[in-house]
Structure 1
């Protein structure tokens, strides 16, 4: 059961990281900032995701 749970948590983190990277790319931030955010999310998947959620650039959302 432990390995199944760990695999599921890993999959959820991967999906959230991909979603965060897509949102960074869609944002209106400068190219340098986008590169830094993407690298942060890739190299620190959990911590980078948390930092991005708090302080990262937002995508161009139209309501």
Structure 2
């Protein structure tokens, strides 16, 4: 299994509050139906996962 770089970005998201991260995730979900290719959808889902991981890591999800 190959290791992926810190894709899609290597940014410290810990400075964002829970509401901001939640809004970003909701925006991503709203844009998913607009995508026309599977590869675009997969990349956006990976971005979404990055934000969800930040919520989990900081124990922000209940």
Normalising by the smaller structure, the TM-score range is: 0.3 to 0.5
TM-score normalised per structure 2: 0.40
Larger-Rg structure: 1
Q: Work out which structure has the larger RCO, using CA pairs closer than 8 Å and 6 or more positions apart in sequence.
A: 2
**TM-score (norm: length of structure 1):** 0.40
